[in-house]
Amino acid sequence: MTNSIEPIDDTETLALAQALITKPSVSPKDEGCQALMIERLTAMGFDITPMPFADVENFWALKDSGIPGPTLVFAGHTDVVPAGPLTDWTFPPFAATVSDGWLYGRGSADMKSALAAMIIACERFIHQQGTFTGKIGFLITSDEEAAAKHGTVRVMQALADAKIHFDYCVVGEPSSSQTLGDMIRVGRRGSLNAHLVIRGKSGHVAYPDTLINPIHQAMPAINALACKQWDQGNDFFPATTFQVSNFNAGVGVQNVVPGDAQIEFNFRYSSASTQAGLIAQTKRFWTHTVSTSKSSGRSQVSPF
C-alpha distances out from residue 27 to 21, 48, 146, 184, Å: 13, 22, 6, 25
Asked if 98 and 17 touch (Cβ cutoff 8 Å), the reply is no
Q: Choose, from 57, 110, 144, 145, the residue flagged as catalytic.
A: 144
Q: Choose, from 30, 31, 57, 79, the residue flagged as catalytic.
A: 79
Asked if 26 and 79 touch (Cβ cutoff 8 Å), the reply is yes
> Could you tell me the residue ranges of all domains in the chain?
10-171, 190-303
Top pLDDT among 13 and 188 is at: 13
Domain 10-171, CATH: 3.40.630.10
| Residue 304 confidence (pLDDT) | 43
Is it the case that residue 97 has pLDDT exceeding 90? yes
Give the pLDDT band (50/70/90) at residue 28. very high
Region 252-265: mean pLDDT is 94
Give the pLDDT band (50/70/90) at residue 100. very high
| Residue 3 confidence (pLDDT) | 53
Give the chain's mean pLDDT.
Answer: 89
Backbone angles phi, psi at 226, to 5 degrees: -65, -30
Partnered with residue 296 across adjacent β-strands are none
C-alpha distances out from residue 285 to 34, 185, 226, 242, 289, Å: 44, 31, 12, 13, 6
235 given a catalytic annotation: no
264 given a catalytic annotation: no
Query: Which pLDDT tens digit goes with each residue over 262-287?
Result: 999 999 999 999 999 999 988 887 77
| Residue 25 confidence (pLDDT) | 96
Is it the case that residue 261 has pLDDT exceeding 80? yes
Give the pLDDT band (50/70/90) at residue 296. very low
SS3 55: coil
Amino acid at 209: D
Q: Given this structure, which CATH class describes domain 190-303?
A: alpha beta
Region 73-86: mean pLDDT is 94
The share of the chain scoring above pLDDT 70, in percent, equals 91
The share of the chain scoring above pLDDT 90, in percent, equals 72
| Residue 294 confidence (pLDDT) | 47
